[in-house]
Chains A and B, each alone.
Chain A
Amino acid sequence: MSHEVNVPKPSGAPARPRAETRDGLIRPAWLKPNRDGSPWYARTFRITTTRIISQAFFFALFSFLLFFTWFSRLGGYPVSLFLEVDPLVAFATAISTHTVYRWLWRALFVLVPTLLLGRVFCNWMCPYGTMHQFFGWIFNIRSNKGNIEKNRYRPVFQLKYYILTLFLILAGFGALQIGLLDPICLLTRTFVVTFFPASDLLAEHLRSTLLGHGLDVPTSFLSSAPGAAEQRVFAGAWFVGLIIFGLVGMNLVIPRFFCRVLCPLGAFLGVLSRFSLWRIDRDVTKCTDCDLCLKHCEGASDPHQALRKSECFVCFNCIDDCPEDALSFRWLPVSIKDRVIGTVKAKTATLFGRKVISEHLETERRTPDVPRRRWLFASIVGVLSFPFLRLSRDVNDRGFNEKAIRPPGSVAEPEFLERCIKCDQCINVCPTNVLQPATLKESGLEGLWTPVMDFSVGFCQLNCTLCSEVCPTGAIQKISVDRKLGMKDYADAGPIVLGTAFFNRGRCLPWAMETPCVVCEEVCPVTPKAIGTYDEEHTRWDGTTVTLNKPYMRPELCIGCGICEHECPVLDDAAVYVTAIGESRSKARSLLLAQRKEPNQR
């Protein structure tokens, strides 16, 4: 860009008067008033300081709530709060389901401030934005001039509006994909799948090191999963980790890269902020067009010319940086262009009798800078993406994947895909680690990072309904233990069935190898047990006799909890394994004729 930057010479240290103050007392330098006569504390207690405190608070709150998403820590905290106040979650699920689930009305907590003040969420609350700002600040080695150039608006920032359009259109068709890039979903997922297991690893390593020195010190307070017997593992953690490295690293190339370029929530709030009552306003009778306001501009919203309301994060850095005090945050500021008398070129321009100094008379640009044809283009991409996603075999009832086993309380697969935002809070709270983020193999790109059960890692614990408690969108509906197990009021409806267990007799020790076993029968948690045995006295190859209890399934009783598969000693490819067939959330996927009956017929 060939824009000339008029940087005033640094004024050096003596910014404040050295002479005694009016009352004649000599004070330490930090207590002296500012040059403009404002008191000393105006230097420290600025609105930007308040903003930083707010960001630290919300980041800490976010981390705290996720850290407390664990069996022994839940204690009634609204652990999915950030996902519930995310207006894009509420809006997109309202589009896909025509309802606002449970706590999603809390999105008003962000929506209303946005309508009043603009995108304050982005730079005051959003933990992901805070993270990017922090790393951008820590690793920033650019000169002031370099910063000013990096913080100019670029056309590539339109991309987020195309992403938003694509996601909303997909949501309209019932394929909710906002979770791929929504910052709260993305950061929650990153915490759950990468940061938290790392904290567990650290706590465990610290403990065994201390034990090695004879110190029995509990370190579980550092762990996100205290009381878990095994280190938690997550499918595709490396990929989620790679994404966070990449996105944080991009701050070196474009500051706040994610927020400015990719963030669909930012785009959504950007569209809304055209209505906001307050905005940053530039006084053209003071502004010298020095562009210093761009030095720390987080949103690249061009406060030096026509402020792009849709891009402004309301970080207030520009007000702080303006040497002429030309910028302020104002309630319903007037558009001054038509009120200027004279012309800028002839240097005769005045505004309400004061001389106009700035050459740029536009002070506001309300709507996102996206040409209409490109909105259309993004919409067409959205319309075409739906069939591409949904006609992939694995997400379709015609060829559903046998390993897409959903948590208890999940709605049927098409409705599940309308609701799941891939935040992975259910995976965070799961005490046995059975819930895993789906990789592409279980339900294609559409179901990427949605929760599926992997019984080689864990099993669905009988009396546990925690995943249904924390799900913010009702992909997993809130259920009680009675509902899950089909007890009391739900005796007619029967238990929730996740799938059905099958025996692979060719790998089963009693069936194929003359060796007693039946761990599966032992651990089967339902009563009467869903695994029975054919007991026979058997003469082995070496002449010895053994009693073999050869297991078989009683399919009406199996709830698909998978503990048999998890405990099967044939570790690598279990001799008893659960697949999704027979899951009670879908009649179309039932196995037995008996499962098709309505509850009252049973």
Chain B
Amino acid sequence: MARSGGKPSDRKEAPERIDRRAALRQIGTVSAIAAGAGWAALAPPTWPGSLRDPDGERGKPKQPVFRLPENGFLVPNVPGGAVLGIARGQNVVAMLKAAVDAIGGMGRFIQPGDIVVVKPNVAFERAAALGATSNPEVLKALVELVRDAGAKEVRVADNPIESPESCFVRSGIQRASLEAGARLYLPKKSDFETLHIPGARWIEHWPFFWQPFRDATKVIGLAPVKDHNLCRASMTTKNWYGLLGGRRNQFHQDIHGIITDLALMMRPTFVVLDGTRVLFRSGPTGGSLDDVRPGQTIVAATDSLAADAFGWQDLLGRADESLPAYFEQAARKNLGNPDWRSLPFKEAQVG
């Protein structure tokens, strides 16, 4: 510090020690650094300014855990009301409206001020006509219907298998969402949080596409009807797969158990089974128009299992085959009723 240097001639006259003020300052600096370092390293962890981590636990990242609402996003049942609304026809808008009206109309489900998440299936980068993704026309009609019912905000969200942007654009879902005035949520890493699903067999704690669900009050699933190589059919229940992140490729080791967990995880306000196109083979990816046939049906339901069972028997035309195992597993957990004919349902022919 204040060592008197200068020319050699000056040094002869310089004092042998540095002056007291400089010495005190230097000693003070050394003591302060030593004391500060000692405090940070040695003070008990609860003390302010302490960095002490005796067993290494303190330094590990903390993952906050999130939960969806206790009863999901359900609305109260109407005694005697239909659980399943089936509309057949050509006009997508009219069919959707008829299907929703059959289960009580949009006003039953959406109140002014609601923030509504709509979950289409945008898993693959495919043109809509190939049937591997939700029909954008249906999505558009649905978002418009929800907005007409007074929803404050409609959010469209999915976590695709392929690169998200390409999937949303190629499937037409991006355009349909924006045209209908919805807000799009493409998954970013920071959008995921660990979700706690009490009672789930496999995914009790799993990364969940949380961002669109922040402050959301209602959730509507919109799923196409697809053949599936492993779980045999992918419809409204399997559709929630797209809300999860992380190592989804492990799910196939017990796909039926996972779908049951998905049904447990998400209790939606209602679901729409989009049977305008049916991917009846080579699912869930398809890729050829030959794998798709028109279904001319839209189903709205407050019971996803019932809707899926209808899809299996009627739209996929597999009534003579037994239902995939996840129906029974989910039904056993009281997550729905695959025996849709035993439930109140309405069928309508429109346009």
Contacts and interface: CB of A to CB of B under 8 A. Distances in A.
Interface of A: 71-72, 204, 207-208, 211, 216, 220, 226-231, 431-432, 458-459, 461-464, 509, 515-519, 521-529, 533, 549, 563, 567-569, 571
A527 B282 contact: yes
A231 B192 CA distance: 14
B188 A461 contact: no
B253 A517 contact: yes
Contacts of A432: 162-163
B282 A529 contact: yes
A515 to B, nearest CB: 5
Contacts of A519: 249, 252
Contacts of A211: 190, 211
Q: How many interface residues does chain B have, given as a range? A: 35 or more
A527 B165 contact: no
B163 A523 contact: no
Contacts of A528: 282
A333 to B, nearest CB: 56
Contacts of A458: 163
B286 A527 contact: yes
B101 interface: no
Among all A-B residue pairs, the 6 with the closest Cβ atoms: A227-B165, A208-B190, A527-B287, A431-B163, A569-B249, A527-B288
Interface in B115-152: 124-127
Nearest to B130: A527
A191 B163 CA distance: 22
Contacts of B189: 204, 208, 229-231
B125 A229 contact: no
A522 B291 contact: no
A230 to B, nearest CB: 7
Given A432-B163, A522-B229, 15 more contacts: A204-B188, A208-B190, A216-B214, A227-B164, A461-B162, A509-B253, A516-B253, A516-B255, A518-B229, A519-B249, A525-B287, A527-B286, A529-B282, A567-B161, A568-B249
Interface in B244-259: 247, 249-250, 252-255
Contact of B230 (A72, A522, A571): A522
28 contacts: A71-B165, A72-B169, A207-B188, A207-B190, A208-B190, A228-B164, A229-B163, A229-B164, A229-B188, A229-B189, A431-B165, A459-B162, A463-B127, A464-B166, A516-B230, A516-B252, A516-B253, A516-B255, A517-B252, A518-B229, A518-B252, A523-B285, A525-B285, A527-B285, A529-B229, A529-B285, A549-B230, A571-B247
A543 to B, nearest CB: 17
B166 A461 contact: yes
A522 B285 contact: yes
Nearest to B127: A463
A228 B230 contact: no
A71 B169 CA distance: 10
A204 B163 CA distance: 17
Counting chain A CB atoms within 10 Å of each CB, the highest count among B126, B186, B187, B253 belongs to B253
Contacts of B211: 211, 216
B322 to A, nearest CB: 13
Interface in B214-239: 214, 228-230
Interface string B19-54: 000000000000000000000000000000000000
Contacts, number: 109
Contacts of B286: 527
Nearest to A527: B287
B159 interface: yes
A215 B269 CA distance: 27
B166 A71 contact: yes
Nearest to A517: B252
A227 B159 CA distance: 11
A567 B248 CA distance: 9
Contacts of B187: 229
B46 to A, nearest CB: 23
Nearest to A525: B285
Contacts of B285: 522-525, 527, 529
A518 B284 CA distance: 13
A389 B247 CA distance: 42
A522 B164 contact: no
A555 B295 CA distance: 33
A526 B189 CA distance: 29
A509 B251 CA distance: 13
B252 A461 contact: no
A463 B253 contact: no
B124 A525 contact: yes
B165 to A, nearest CB: 3
Given A216-B211, A549-B230, A462 B161 contact: no
Contacts of B162: 432, 459, 461, 563
Contacts of B282: 527-529
A515 B228 CA distance: 19
Contacts of B229: 518, 521-522, 529, 533, 549
A567 B123 CA distance: 13
A522 B229 CA distance: 6
B163 A228 contact: yes
Contacts of B125: 461-464
A549 B232 CA distance: 13
Contacts of B161: 523, 567
Nearest to A513: B253
Contacts of A522: 228-230, 252, 284-285
Name, among A459, A522, A526, the residue most crowded by chain B CB atoms within 10 Å (CB to CB): A522
Interface in B156-197: 159, 161-166, 168-170, 186-190
A432 B290 CA distance: 28
A541 to B, nearest CB: 16
A395 B164 CA distance: 35
Contacts of A461: 125, 162-163, 166
Contact of B291 (A204, A527, A549): A527
A463 B247 CA distance: 25
A228 B187 CA distance: 8
A207 B190 CA distance: 7
B168 to A, nearest CB: 8
Counting chain A CB atoms within 10 Å of each CB, which of B190, B250, B255, B284 scores highest?
B190
Given A230-B189, A464-B125, A569-B249, A518 B230 contact: yes
A464 B162 CA distance: 11
Nearest to A226: B165
A360 B252 CA distance: 83
A592 B288 CA distance: 25
A567 B211 CA distance: 24
A72 B164 CA distance: 11
B257 to A, nearest CB: 11
A229 B252 contact: no
Contacts of B165: 71-72, 226-228, 431
Contacts of B126: 463
Interface string B240-280: 00000001011011110000000000000000000000000
A102 B187 CA distance: 37
Nearest to B215: A216
B108 to A, nearest CB: 29
B210 to A, nearest CB: 9
A229 B187 CA distance: 6
A569 B190 contact: no
Among A431, A459, A515, the most chain B Cβ lie within 10 Å of the Cβ of: A431
Interface string B73-93: 000000000000000000000
**Best-buried of B168, B188, B230, B282 by chain A (most CB within 10 Å):** B188
Tell which of A204, A459, A462 has the most Cβ of chain B within 10 Å: A462
Contacts of A72: 165, 169
A525 B161 CA distance: 11
B291 A227 contact: no
A228 B126 CA distance: 17
B289 to A, nearest CB: 10
Contacts of A71: 163, 165-166, 169
Contacts of A463: 125-127, 166, 170
Nearest to A524: B285
